[in-house]
Amino acid sequence: NVAGGGTMKARAGRGSAADPQSLYAKRRREKINDRLRALQKLVPNGTKVDLSTMLEEAVL
């Protein structure tokens, strides 16, 4: 029991880093980051500003 009278539910067994969904999400993040790094190289001062500013400069 949890303070207040409720009960805790057990977490689903997806906590493993080897879970296919976790691996897919990791690959997706890596792909996004690789493409953002490539874009940073194309934008003037892209590596010297934050992500939102760099994206704004890329669009303008």
pTM over 0.75: no
Residue 8 in domain: no
Q: Tell me, what amino acid is at 29?
A: R
Residue 4 in domain: no
Helix, strand, coil percent values for the chain (each to nearest 5)? 55, 0, 45
Domain count, the chain: 1
Distance, first Cα to last Cα, the chain: 56
The structure tokens listed for 19 are: 């879970």
pLDDT digits over 8-57, tens only?
665 555 566 688 999 999 999 999 999 999 999 999 988 899 999 999 98
20-42 helix and 51-59 helix, angle to the nearest 10 degrees: 60
For residue 1, what pLDDT band results from cuts at 50, 70 and 90? low
Hunting for tokens 């539910």 — which residue is that? Answer: 9
- How long, in residues, is the chain? 60
Q: For residue 42, what are the domain limits?
A: 22-59
pLDDT of residue 45: 87
pLDDT of residue 46: 85
Residue 44 in domain: yes
With a cut of 60, say whether residue 2 has pLDDT above it: no
